[in-house]
Chains A and B, each alone.
Chain A
């Protein structure tokens, strides 16, 4: 066998090995967390309140906190993000304004979550505490909106760009206004793409911890209003693991989180496939 041939075999073996390693790491993490966490999950674990700082009992308040936080964050971020994308893609042409917004979106995407947390803490929790209630779901959500805005904007823009231009021209040529064309033609066609971006943002909010550590307050009580402090599942996992040392409870929460993320990724993937079919 020639030397070049042998080099190729060695090189491709190494590349395959790297891929195999990556897959193994993923499977190891998922299976390990599941094997220790799934046994914890039952109806009581999901629906009971925690006892002894979460060392015993269930994770119900954290589930509620996660749902509220995700709900409020998306409710606020969706119109702003999609609106920005519409403005960038449908209303203005390349120019300074567009560049500025592009740049800030990129910059916002790069900021570490703990810095969002710092800002959320000083602005929403301290400065606006009369409005937000201090550490609260509202403070966390407003911070979360800033974090997921770049994701929503970028993905929505992509979805809008995929709408064929002849349909826009066809509608405008019939003497409809720009907004009517967007409402009736562009947005409905871009909808699956926008939805995919929203589902992925849910994943980001569910997985985020540092920013919410400083803005949600970590209360273990069931939140009664959006102005109450709360904790998400991720935050709960962290606090239980670091403060109570009861790893089984942490693994139970971890297993719930992984199941959630798998569902989210599956949904986004399925939507994305439909999207590709539609435009091909």
Chain B
């Protein structure tokens, strides 16, 4: 044999490359470790000292007097998020079914890039549109015909409703794209079998295809929820940012509210040391919300396989 098969030192390059690649692969692990560490290091001692129930369930937020209750913000976040899902999920799923099962390929090719564009528009642009168009529309409703039923502070148009509508639009691309993929992934035989049994096209879609894509559709809703929960800029621009728990009843959706994300973004710039810790603690609450959502998605995906 002309060449020896024994190992050569020439493999040094290969070894160096591998080490560099491992370091790069560890960057994301490292990132999340750092983020978690600093978030908890800054926020956790505060929660401890201040008292976890006082912090989570306190209804007053008044940093100048060292009162840090984030319950109104939790309620605000939950309200706009639920409203966004209630409006956005049915529309998004309907569009997904339309794109995957009903629309001719030509139409899908036109609508798909539009959905992608919707996903790409910066949140501040949504916010701007929200202030000028959606808030104005809500204001003319709240200040006009509904004026006599609403307190004055509920008539500005900055509201749960404005936030919910803007977020609903913003989560549409997430729900549409992921649901449509899930529906397309359902084997064609399922539908053919249903059609073979004499179902109409819609019956087979409704009773066979959509149920088969259920976990993908639920995943899309959870990811949409995550997006709505974490959205900051657009929501600051339209929700009014008042720290208050809205009135119970239909009037509540016209109340201006502040979200957890908005609280951090609005006050971080000028916060003193303790105030800042309280904002990091707010970040922890947000982080935990998201992690719970992520775990649900992960569990769903696991069940799928």
* Residues in chain A within 8 A of chain B (CB atoms): 4-5, 7-8, 11-12, 14-19, 21-23, 25-26, 28-30, 32-33, 79-80, 83-84, 86-88, 91, 100-101, 103-108, 110-119, 121-123, 146, 149-150, 153, 177-179, 203, 206-210, 213-214, 234-235, 237-238, 241-242, 247, 250-251, 254, 257-258, 261-262, 264-265, 269
Given that A12-B202, A114-B261 are known contacts, is A209 also in contact with B24, CB under 8 Å in the complex?
A: no
CB within 8 Å for A115 and B169 given contacts A83-B25, A238-B233, A241-B127: no
A-B pairs with beta carbons under 8 Å apart, 8 shown: A84-B27, A87-B24, A110-B290, A112-B286, A118-B268, A149-B28, A210-B232, A254-B128
Q: For residue B237, which residues in chain A have a CB less than 8 angstroms away from its CB?
A: 238, 241-242
B233 contacts A23, CB within 8 Å? no
Chain A CB within 8 A of B99 CB: yes
Tell me the residues in window 232-273 of chain B with beta carbons closer than 8 Å to chain A beta carbons: 232-233, 236-237, 261, 264-265, 268-269
User: Is B283 part of the contact surface with A, judged by Cβ < 8 Å?
Assistant: yes
Are A23 and B114 in contact (CB-based, < 8 A)?
yes
Q: Contacts A84-B28, A234-B124, A261-B120; is A269 near B172 (CB within 8 Å)?
A: no
Q: Is the interface of A mostly helix, strand, loop or mixed?
A: helix
Report the separation of the CA atoms of residues A21 and B26 in the bound assembly, to the nearest whole angstrom: 44
Task: Name the residue on A nearest B169 (C-beta).
Answer: A25
Chain B nearest CB: distance from A77 CB in Å? 9
Is B38 in contact with A251, judged by CB distance below 8 angstroms?
A: no
Which listed residue (A33, A178, A251) contacts B14, Cβ 8 A? Answer: A178
The interface residues of chain A lying within 8 Å CB-to-CB of B97 are 15
Closest to B132 in A: A247
Query: Once the chains are docked, how many angstroms separate the CA of A17 from the CA of B102?
Result: 12
B15: nearest residue on chain A (CB-CB)?
A179
* Given A18-B98, A33-B128: A264 touches B120 (CB 8 Å cut-off): yes
Tell which of B226, B232, B236 has the most Cβ of chain A within 10 Å: B232
Contact across chains for A32 and B264 when beta carbons are under 8 A apart: no
Inter-chain CA distance A121–B279, complex, in Å, is: 12
The answer to whether B230 and A112 have CB atoms under 8 Å apart is yes
Q: A11-B206, A91-B18, A112-B229 are in contact. Are A19 and B103 (CB under 8 A)?
A: yes
Given the contacts A80-B27, A118-B268, A254-B128, A261 and B117 also touching, CB distance less than 8 Å: yes
When chains A and B are docked, how far (Å) is the Cα of A83 from the Cα of B81? 37
Of the stretches B49-57, B149-157, B291-299, the one at the interface is: B291-299
**How far does the Cβ of A91 sit from chain B's closest Cβ, in whole Å?**
6
Asked if residues B38 and A119 are in contact (CB atoms below 8 Å), the reply is: yes
How many interface residues does B have (CB within 8 Å)?
A: 81
Selected from A112, A250, A251, the residue in CB contact (under 8 A) with B290 is A112
B185 at the binding interface (Cβ < 8 Å) = no
Residues of A within 8 A of B102 (CB): 12, 15-16
Q: How far is the CA of A123 from the CA of B38 in the complex (A)?
A: 8
The residues in B between 194 and 247 inclusive whose CB is less than 8 angstroms from any CB of A are 200-203, 206, 226, 229-233, 236-237
Of all chain B residues, the one with the shortest Cβ separation from A9 is B202
Contact B28 A104 (CB under 8 A): yes
Knowing A15-B98, A88-B25, A106-B298, say if A111 contacts B123 (CB, 8 Å): no
A101-B24 contact, Cβ under 8 Å, with A21-B91, A119-B38:
no
- Distance in angstroms from B244 CB to nearest chain A CB is 20
- CA gap between A106 and B24 in the complex, in Å: 16
Least CB separation from A77: chain B residue? B27
B287 touches A22 (CB 8 A): no
**A29 CA / B122 CA spacing, docked (Å):** 12
Given A84-B28, A100-B29, residue A269 in contact with residue B116 (CB < 8 A): yes
Please give the distance in Å from B96's CB to the nearest CB on chain A.
9
Tell me the nearest residue of chain A to B31, going by C-beta. A146
Q: A12-B202, A104-B28, A251-B128 are in contact. Are A83 and B20 (CB under 8 A)?
A: yes
The complex places the Cα of A66 from the Cα of B185 at a distance, in Å, of 39
B25 interface neighbour in A19, A101, A112, A261, Cβ under 8 Å? A101
Could you say which of B39, B111, B125, B290 has the most chain A C-beta atoms within 10 Å of its C-beta? B125
B233, A11: Cβ atoms closer than 8 Å:
no
B280 within 8 A of A: yes
Q: Indicate which residue in A8, A26, A84 contacts B114 across the interface (CB closer than 8 Å).
A: A26
Distance of B211 from chain A, by nearest CB (Å): 15
B118 within 8 A of partner (CB): yes
B1 CB-CB contact with A under 8 Å: no
> Are A8 and B202 neighbours in the complex by a CB distance under 8 Å?
yes
Contact, CB under 8 Å: B233 / A108: no
